Structure 1
Amino acid sequence: MSAGAAAPSIGRLSKAEKAQGWRTPGQDHGWLNPLYERFLLHLLVKKELRVRYRGSVLGMAWSYVKPAVQFLVFFLALGVFLQLNKGMPAYAVYLFSGIVVANLFGEVFGNCTRSITGNQALVSKIYLPSELFPWSSMIVALIHFLPQVLVLTIGALLYGWIPSPTAAIAFFLGMVILLLLSMGLGMIGAALNAAYRDIENFVDLITMVAMWITPIMYKITMVKDALQDSIWWWLYSLNPLAIVVELFHVAFWRYGPEVVEAVEVDKDLSLVPPLGPLSNGPFGYWWVGLLTSAIVFAIGTLVFERTKRRFAQEL
């Protein structure tokens, strides 16, 4: 090397390498890491899917079997034995459109909470952006969610449902609110679970409670009749998860022919719940759910970013 030539600096990339898209390893882009490290994110998603179905006979078919069995149990217990099926048109679609919401919420929330402790070897031994683990768990949950939505769509079509712009908007709003809420809670859970393992048990309890306090298996009008116009009714109806369930009802159930006919016949809406959680248009108070979920997501991101540097030591 000539005396005038500059020695290459260790750890820095040359202009030619940067032009080819290379980046210095170990850079931290914070909550934008999943965008910058898409290849690593893809590898983690593949790893999670392979580990989950290793040695499994049915494999991805479990994405159909588990919600199908869950639906049948609830439909028989509530729809047939308690005869809720007779008190609501297209009750099967109403029920399953809420079940898919609860399943996605529970899987994203639970998997994200366990994402750091479940990848202890990777977190403690090599450098990987910690944000990739909860985000890969969320993507895996969405992969499992797609077959359920497909089954729900087919079932709604069998009941005469026709896709519409209103249904598409309601579905999109519901998905945005649901993912922001579940990811925000999941990142908070992941940060706490790295230090306190019993957080996983709290997450299971929250998921179970959320299943029963949202209008999935019963009409929201039943809750209003019980709570009247008290503050508890307002808190219940402005719960983001309840808003998501009602948005999914608008998307897949509300405008089905059986439901529309029931609304025309039953003017007091005793059979069919009102539009939206508080009867404020087809989407209800969706902005309350979106705002609340966005705040939860921001808090979860902040908590995760503040604690991620201690994950290796805590594990």
Structure 2
Amino acid sequence: MYAERLYVAEKSETVSRPGISRGILDISRYKYLLDLLVQKEVRVRYRGSWLGMAWTYVKPLTQFIVFYVAMGIFLGLGRGGGIENYPVYLFAGIIVTNFFNEAFMSTTMSIVGNAGLIKKIYLPRELFPLASLRVSFVHFLPQWLVLMVGSILLGWKADLAGLVVAFLAFVSLSIFAFGMGLFFGSINVFYRDAQNATELVSMIAMWLAPSFYTWHQVASQLPHWGLQIYMANPIAIAVEAFHRGFWWGSTDGSFTFASGWGLSISLSFVISLLMLAIGEFTFRKLEGGFAQEM
């Protein structure tokens, strides 16, 4: 059904033929097709599921409980002398890293997962990973609302600077995840080892971002240059930005962040755009063989 609707939509829009596509620059011309792909992915993902979209809440809440017990109670990070309002601090980090991991893994699998459509019709292949990225955002939104409610209940006071920092860091993280997905997704068509590598990257992303601990603890164990490399990670920057936007306002304000936000956000965008360029270059180089290989 979706293949037929996509075919009709393809004929009704101005479509670039293979060989003259401008890649991600063409995406804005295919908004209707993109919406169809997002609808398809959401329906396929929850087909036969009793809980459906409720799984969007189950996973992060389960992670929160496990990590809060392990880190907050057993290791004492949530008690006196630990991290103030630790539940909000922890949950903010969890939803950011979960967004990256889902976006990265789903965009990586998007080409192989849509092999049937890719063989039947032509449309910019970047639409598939972009649709997966949008679905990841759909899943992120209710988790963010839970974070907002929790922050407000614990005395959070919003400030414009913190919200702007969090928004910009999230945009940068989305670009970074999309670039990573383009790179690994195109390679995954030819070498399925790439999808196994995504699991390792996701595990590293979860533990190397300051979601459960603070950057001060990292600084005490690393030389200065090591800390600079650690904090140049767009995932770590996004986690800290969400701490600034949705946690710091619920504390006494004594917590200090690693560096100025102007520098951190700028660095995050530079790295994310570089990753997007690398991912798109690799994708464009390999996409000619997608249909034949699958």
Q: Same fold (TM over 0.5)?
A: yes
Aligned-pair identity in percent equals 42
Q: Which residue of 1 aligns with 2:129?
A: 134
> What is the CA–CA distance in structure 1 between the aligned matches of 2:211 and 2:171, rounded to whole Å?
19
Shift of 1:84: 0.7
Q: Which of 31, 37, 45 lines up with 1:44 in the alignment?
A: 37
> What is the CA–CA distance in structure 2 between the aligned matches of 1:125 and 1:286, rounded to whole Å?
41
Q: Which residue of 2 aligns with 1:23?
A: 14
CA offset digits 1:117-136 (Å, max 9, x no partner): 01111112322321110000
Shift of 1:158: 0.7
> What is the CA–CA distance in structure 1 between the aligned matches of 2:37 and 2:62, rounded to whole Å?
29
Larger proportion of helix:
2
Bigger mean CA offset, 133-142 vs 23-32 = 23-32
Structure 2: segments with no counterpart, 5+ residues = 1-11
For 2:276, the aligned partner's letter is: F
Q: Which residue of 1 aligns with 2:171?
A: 176
CA offset digits 1:232-288 (Å, max 9, x no partner): 1221122221111111110011122x332xx2xxxxxxxx3x22x33x3x5552211
> What is the CA–CA distance in structure 2 between the aligned matches of 1:309 and 1:57, rounded to whole Å?
39
- Verify the 8 A CA contact 1:112 1:190 in the aligned structure 2: yes
- Verify the 8 A CA contact 1:100 1:148 in the aligned structure 2: yes
Q: Which of 56, 68, 75 lines up with 1:75 in the alignment?
A: 68
Shift of 1:204: 0.6
> What is the CA–CA distance in structure 1 between the aligned matches of 2:97 and 2:51, rounded to whole Å?
23
> What is the CA–CA distance in structure 1 between the aligned matches of 2:83 and 2:152, rounded to whole Å?
18
> What is the CA–CA distance in structure 1 between the aligned matches of 2:33 and 2:232, rounded to whole Å?
38
> What is the CA–CA distance in structure 2 between the aligned matches of 1:238 and 1:194, rounded to whole Å?
30
1:253 lines up with 2:247 in the alignment: yes
Q: 1:203 to 1:255 in 2, by over 3 A?
A: same
1:153-164 matches, within 5 Å, as 153-164=148-159
CA offset digits 1:83-139 (Å, max 9, x no partner): 110111011111111111101100110001000001111112322321110000000
1:108 lines up with 2:103 in the alignment: yes
Shift of 1:24: 5.4
For 1:23, the aligned partner's letter is: T
- Verify the 8 A CA contact 1:195 1:314 in the aligned structure 2: yes
Q: Which residue of 1 aligns with 2:229?
A: 235
Q: Which residue of 2 aligns with 1:3?
A: none
Asked which structure has the greater CA Rg, the reply is 1
Q: Which residue of 2 aligns with 1:309?
A: 288
Q: 1:89 to 1:134 in 2, by over 3 A?
A: same
Shift of 1:203: 0.6
Q: Which of 285, 288, 291 lines up with 2:270 in the alignment?
A: 291
Aligned residues: 279
- Verify the 8 A CA contact 1:33 1:132 in the aligned structure 2: no
RMSD of aligned residue pairs (Cα, Å): 1.6
Shift of 1:193: 0.3
Shift of 1:69: 0.8
Tell me the TM-score normalized by structure 1. 0.85
> What is the CA–CA distance in structure 1 between the aligned matches of 2:274 and 2:223, rounded to whole Å?
29
> What is the CA–CA distance in structure 1 between the aligned matches of 2:13 and 2:219, rounded to whole Å?
58
For 2:271, the aligned partner's letter is: T
Q: 1:54 to 1:237 in 2, by over 3 A?
A: same
Bigger mean CA offset, 24-33 vs 64-73 = 24-33
For 2:193, the aligned partner's letter is: D
Q: SS of the counterpart of 2:63?
A: helix
> What is the CA–CA distance in structure 2 between the aligned matches of 1:224 and 1:216, rounded to whole Å?
15
Q: Which residue of 2 aligns with 1:85?
A: 78
Show structure 1 runs of 4+ deviating over 6 A. none
Q: 1:188 to 1:25 in 2, by over 3 A?
A: closer
For 1:249, the aligned partner's letter is: H
For 1:232, the aligned partner's letter is: G
For 1:195, the aligned partner's letter is: F
Q: Which residue of 2 aligns with 1:268?
A: none
1:123 lines up with 2:118 in the alignment: yes
> What is the CA–CA distance in structure 1 between the aligned matches of 2:146 and 2:24, rounded to whole Å?
34
